Amino acid sequence: MNYPVVKGASYALIHAPDMVLHQGTTQTSEALKNPDSEHLKNLPKHLRSFEDVVKYGPNQVYIGNMEPDALAELPKPWYENPVAAGERYGKFGEIMPLDEFYGLMKVVDAFDLVLLEKDFQEQVKAKLAAHPVMQDLKDLGKLDKDPAELAAIEKLVAEDLAEGMYLEGKLIGCVKRAHEFDPALTHHVMFENLVSIASAVVALKNLLAKTGLKAEEVDYIIECSEEACGDMNLRGGGNFAKAIGEVCGCINATGSDTRG
């Protein structure tokens, strides 16, 4: 009798401090209830830079650059004692900065909802084209198309027709709503959906690269995020798994979304 076994694993961390401020559930709820709260005023001072996140000991363990037992040798608190030799890429995966992740959100967008400011889009295209794992994504060419003017992005966000994409406090893009009236297709929901797909693509592409598994050999994908896609007629009835597989070149795979 054959038994299923785990032959490989990969891990991805996305450093997204601006999403914490602008899309985090606690912050968006607090902004509605108490926009002048001390929490909202003080939170930006407690966010860490990408360099700090890379050199954080537990993160280095997570992506495979350190053994878990090595943490016992690091002085505490760990966030005040960075790992000098910390690296972005590891044996199990990587830590991705927010600018590249925004570019990836446009790459995985199948409905042309993501607009990126033209200069930013050009810069992030160059970064992803040089990425050791993402450079062969078949849809990377989307970053050559439809660059947006900042004024157009600002107008959509100001009119509440799109969710802003911020980098170091500056607006550099947006995610538009997918339907005028459908509450399951608002710009905030579409932003969450694209984040779910893009972050899973980072993990799956790293898995394929680290294990040598060929994308076309994958026949089933199970997606397990906290979000759910669909429309007002079939909320949660969409399929992130198939979208992730399509982006990663898993041409023979089907899949399903599973929630606990």
Domain positions in the chain are 11-257
User: How far apart, in Å, are the Cα atoms of 215 and each of 92, 183, 245, 247?
Assistant: 17, 35, 8, 10
Q: What is the pLDDT of residues 224-251, one digit of tens each?
A: 998 889 999 888 888 999 999 999 999 9
Share of residues in the chain with pLDDT > 90 (%):
92
- Exposed, middle or buried: residue 114 (CB in 10 Å: 0-12, 13-18, 19+)? buried
User: How far apart, in Å, are the Cα atoms of 212 and each of 11, 12, 205, 206?
Assistant: 15, 17, 11, 10
Which run of H or of E encompasses 19?
A: helix 17-22
Mean pLDDT score, 113-119: 98
pLDDT for res 101: 98
pLDDT for res 172: 98
Nearest to 251 by CA among 219, 212, 203, 206: 219
Give residue 143's identity as a one-letter amino acid code: L
Residue 131 confidence (pLDDT) above 80: yes
Nearest to 23 by CA among 165, 168, 225: 165
Nearest to 240 by CA among 183, 209, 198, 207: 198
pLDDT for res 1: 63
Q: What is the mean pLDDT of the chain?
A: 96
Residue 5 confidence (pLDDT) above 90: no
Angle at CA of residue 73, ends 71 and 75, nearest 5°: 90
Q: CB pairs under 8 A, 24+ apart, for 159-166?
A: 160/187, 161/187, 162/115, 162/187, 163/23, 163/187, 163/188, 163/190, 163/191, 164/22, 165/18, 165/102, 165/105, 165/114, 165/116, 166/18, 166/21, 166/22
Q: What is the pLDDT of residues 135-165, one digit of tens each?
A: 999 999 999 999 999 999 999 999 999 999 9
User: CA 53 to CA 68: how far, in whole Å?
Assistant: 17
> Where does the pLDDT of residue 110 fall: very low under 50, low under 70, confident under 90, or very high at 90 and above?
very high
